[in-house]
Every structure is written in C-alpha cells, then in structure tokens.
Amino acid sequence: MTHPAQGAVSGILNIRKEAGFTSFDVIAVLRGILHTRRIGHTGTLDPAAEGVLPVCVGKATSLVEMLTDKTKTYETVMLLGVTTDTQDTTGNILSRTEEIPAEEEVLSAIRSFEGTYEQLPPMVSAKKVNGRKLVDLAREGKTVERKPVPVTLSDITILSVDLPRVRFSVTCTRGTYIRTLCADIGEKLGCGACMESLLRTRSGDFRLEDAVTLDDVRRAVEEERLDSLLLTLEEVFADLPALAVLPEGEKRLLNGNPVPCRMAQEAPEGAQRVRIRGLDGALIGVYRLDEAEGVWKPDRLFLRD
C-alpha cells in the first residue's frame, strides 16, 4: 500500500462529518490517513451535528480563513416546549411545557427572524473571550459576559411541521448559532425551545451531495485515487485569469515579492486579480493589480510545500 508523501498533498476535501466526531477528530483522522500535519477545517461543527466540513490540506491551508467566512446553510429540527443549559437536547433540561402555540403562530415567529438580528453567543460554543473558548469556561462552571453579535439569516424555509417539532432550513452568515436561534424562537413564543438535530448542507460552494466520508478518503488513498476527491487550488480560483511570470520575474515571484507587470504575461483588459504561475507551471499565488505602481501584489501565496 502506498501513502501520500509528507507535504505532497494539496487541495480541499469536502468532508461529510458524521455525528459523534468533533471537527478536531476529523482533522486527527485525516492526518493519519494522509500522513501530513498541514490540515485545517473551515468552520466548527458540534459533535452531534452532521454535514459539510471543507478541509484544507497542504498549501491550501492558507485558504482556511477565506473559506470559513462563506455563507452556510443548515437544516435543523427545533423542539418546542423544552429548554436546556446547552440550547440543544444534549444538555440538562431547565424547563418543560406542553403548552405549545398554534402552528400559524409558530411559523410566523420563525419567519420573523429572517434578516439581521443581534444574537448572544452561547456559553457552550467554540467562540473565544479573552483568549479562552466559552465551552471550556462552561465546563469549569463559569459564565462570562458576552456581547450580542449581529448575524444575518438571508433565507428561512419551513420543511415540515409536526408540533412540538419543526424542521426548517437556514442560510446564514458566519458565526450564527442555530441552537441559539432555536432558543430565541422559543423565547419569543413563550414556550421555550431547543435544537434537536443539525445538518449543514452547504458551506460556500461546497454542498452535501458532493461530500465524502472519512472512509471514502481512506479507500481513495488505498486505491491511489485521492486526486479524484481533491479540489485543487487552480480549481478554487478558476474564475481568475492565469498569468505566467517571465524569466526576469521568477526570483521576485518565488520570494513572495510584488511582480512588476512587465515581468509577467499581459493580463486581459480590466483584470484586477489574477493567479500567477512560475516558469514550471506551478501556481504560486493570487495577485492583485496596483495600477499606480504598475505591479502585481500578492493577495494569497502558495509557496510552501
């Protein structure tokens, strides 16, 4: 059996995280499968949650922050009439009632959250306050002051209703906590609510129907077809014009310095961002045009092996 050489693998894997795994667990398993430590995920999912988790490998780890910022879509089941200390059904029950409002009132309350609202990050979350994760503080029995954060829900679609449960999808900005959304809806209705399940169906351009499991990756490595699962850096930036550097600009390019326009091929008219390749054809980075100085300045570099 052959394995990828250390540092040889670069690209993005669209992983379908399974329930019971933390996002860090996924990274740990992939490090063992791919035999490289340069791996990073693009947005934490709770252990009980499932769905899309784009994972950057090798040179692509420089894209982690960029991909984490992307809009995401979730499917969730909200359980009305129950509140917990974690805002989901894994926590300790704080209150319970069978007095659930009528379906029309419930759906109206859910839809009222479409748009931008101020959301208070839950204590059981990976968000950091003064350098420490809230979840770690919560495990120590501590509660700290948090500031509400504006989040935008661009779309809420009701998928099914079987009170006290409602299944709906949410498309939202980075940093939105669906468990908190469920709790906020329950508070507005006066009966309380918590999240029963969570499935991330999209993260940026990565979709659930294209995601692969850890076992899929393991088999691909054993069968020497890992490339078929990887989205390459060239594919990520396929919408940008590709330029090759001229021989006199190669040294500047490989040192990560700005490249004078005269030291690279001519870009298409109006191009402000391009991907520049070295003389060997390898993608070195994404560059942005500085017209005043007449140079291409590095926007994102992929120099490390």
Provide the annotated active-site residues.
Answer: 46
Q: Would you say 65 and 56 are in contact if contact means Cβ atoms under 8 Å apart?
A: no
On whether the CB atoms of residues 148 and 122 are closer than 8 A, the answer is no
Is there a contact between 231 and 42 (Cβ–Cβ < 8 Å)?
A: no
Within the chain, strands assigned E span 11-17, 39-41, 50-57, 72-80, 82-84, 93-96, 115-119, 128-129, 132-133, 149-162, 165-172, 193-203, 206-207, 242-244, 259-260, 273-277, 283-290, 295-301
- CA nearest neighbour of 256 among 191, 301, 202, 211: 301
The SS3 of residue 25 is helix
Using DSSP's 3-state secondary structure scheme, residue 295 falls into strand
